[in-house]
Structure formats: C-alpha cells, structure tokens
Amino acid sequence: MKKSSVAVFALILSGAMLFSYHPVLAQNSGAQASTSQTNQSSLDQDIDLLRKDIRSQKKQLIAANVPLTDAEAEKFWPIYDQYTSELVQINNEKYQMLKEYAQNNGSMTDAQAADWTPRLLKLDSNVAALRLKYWPKISSVLPPKKAALYEQVERQAQLLIDVQIATQVPLVQP
C-alpha cells in the first residue's frame, strides 16, 4: 500500500473519530433525560455521517492502491459494495455495543461484562466470516495478486479503524 495513502487515511481517522467516551453518552439522570436524548440523537447522526465518510475514504484508498482494469473494476466494485453493505450491518451492532459500553463505563456490573465480552468476540468472528464469504467472489474476478493486494489493503484499513476506536475506548475497570 502506498505509504502516503495510509498516512492520509490515518489522519482522516484520527481527526474525525467520534467513538471515544463521550459525556453525552454518560448522561443518565432523569432530569437530563430530554436533553440527553436530543444530544444522543445528534451524536448518533454525527457518527452515522462519520461512518459514511470513512466508508467513502476506504473505497478511495482501495481504488488508489489496487490497480484495476476497466473490466476488473466492473466486476469488482459491485462485489465490494455488497461486502460493505453486509459489513455495515455487523458494524451497526459494534457501534451499538460501544454506546452501551460508554453508558455503563465506570459502573459496568460483572453480569454486563460477562454478556458484553462474548458479544464483542462474536462480532470479530462475524467480520472474519464475512471476509471468508467474499474471498471466493473477489478471487474469481481479480487475478490472484490483485485479490491478495485488495485483501491486504482492506485489512489494513480496517485495522487502522479498529486501532483508532480501541485507543479512544477506556478499559473496563475491575
């Protein structure tokens, strides 16, 4: 992957991440419920826009780093768009879990932790299963080296996103 493309993508992520522990998410008092719901709705909209922007940037990153002929692109991009659509569904649950975590951070019970951790591990498994599901489709429309390059770029981009999220989410307090 071109180092400049990775650097640009990392800068976009680091400058725009909204996934960190956010005070709005921690507001749970009854007196602030209405304001909290309004703020939560605004935060949800901001996160949705950010996620769309990240998907667009990731697609541009792939386009810049995986040289496709017109014929390959015609076959590849619809498959990639299907993959992304399914990945969005998995990530919807991931971001819901992050919101739950932020709301319970500092007061997470043992029962909540026992439920939360396997759900998070299942999400990781679901993403891996999705990649495996799409690998035969990708490798059937791209030559082996380009298919491998795509998978590398996709994986590195996703790792950058995951690292950004991980660095902004506080650790569970025992």
pTM for the model: 0.76
pLDDT of residue 147: 98
Cα dihedral value 149, 153, 154, 155, nearest 10 = 100
Q: What is the mean pLDDT of residues 123-147?
A: 97
- pLDDT of residue 27 exceeding 50, the answer is no
Q: Amino acid identity, residue 24? A: V
Q: What is the mean pLDDT of residues 57-67?
A: 95
Cβ atoms of 148 and 66 within 8 Å: the answer is no
**Domains in the chain: boundaries:** 3-168
pLDDT of residue 114: 92
- pLDDT of residue 6 exceeding 70, the answer is no
